[in-house]
Amino acid sequence: MSRLRNGQPFPSLEVPAVGGGTISLPDDLAGSYGVVLIYRGSWCPYCNAQLAAFSRALDALTGLGVRVVALSVDDEETSAALAARHKLRFPVGHSADAGKVAAATGAYVNDDPHYLQSTGFVLAPDGTVRVAVYSSDAIGRLVADDVAGYIRYLTEHAA
């Protein structure tokens, strides 16, 4: 399993979405800058803080042409409760297969209990990776304000 590098196409992933349907990556983000947040689970306080911060920053991110999705191994009921608790206004995927997601993205996996470690990607509008942030444990993840500043920089300095 290798980590994704800048310029590589983001791999095709599909996970069920809270409320029905499917999140299809990178297709659902095509044409916009995209943020993919893989979080450890609803039990993780750092993940809760990150997701809530992205939800609070969503209007600013949307204004910059950024779309956000999040996913974890949590079941739909747990994921829906998390989305409601933090008033998440972006698609949240549930029941992700940790092995498949890790094989596709290079995300670290915790063995017992089995879940994905925090991993974040910023994708260009063409679906290629611009930033990949891998954590091997509880801390180290994308920050909403950093993503907004980065996208602002990219759009202001586009060639």
Total tally of structural domains belonging to the chain: 1
2 is a domain residue: no
Say if residue 158's pLDDT is above 90.
Answer: no
**Predicted pLDDT of residue 3:** 96
User: 145, 57 in Cβ contact below 8 A?
Assistant: yes
Claim: this prediction has a pTM higher than 0.95: yes
Say if residue 1's pLDDT is above 80.
Answer: no
- 153: CB partners within 8 A, 6+ apart: none
6 is a domain residue: no
Share of the chain above pLDDT 70, in %: 99
Q: Which domain holds residue 80?
A: 13-156
Helices then strands, each counted (H, E), the chain: 5, 9
Average pLDDT on 11-32 reads: 98
8 is a domain residue: no
Write the pLDDT tens digit of every residue in 26-40: 999 999 999 999 999
- 63: CB partners within 8 A, 6+ apart: none
The domain that holds 74 is classified in CATH as 3.40.30.10
**Predicted pLDDT of residue 156:** 93
- Taking the CA of residue 51 as centre, how many other CA atoms within 13 Å lie in the half-sphere pointing to its CB? 32
Write the pLDDT tens digit of every residue in 120-148: 999 999 999 999 999 999 999 999 999 99
Say if residue 22's pLDDT is above 70.
Answer: yes
Say if residue 159's pLDDT is above 70.
Answer: no
Say if residue 114's pLDDT is above 80.
Answer: yes
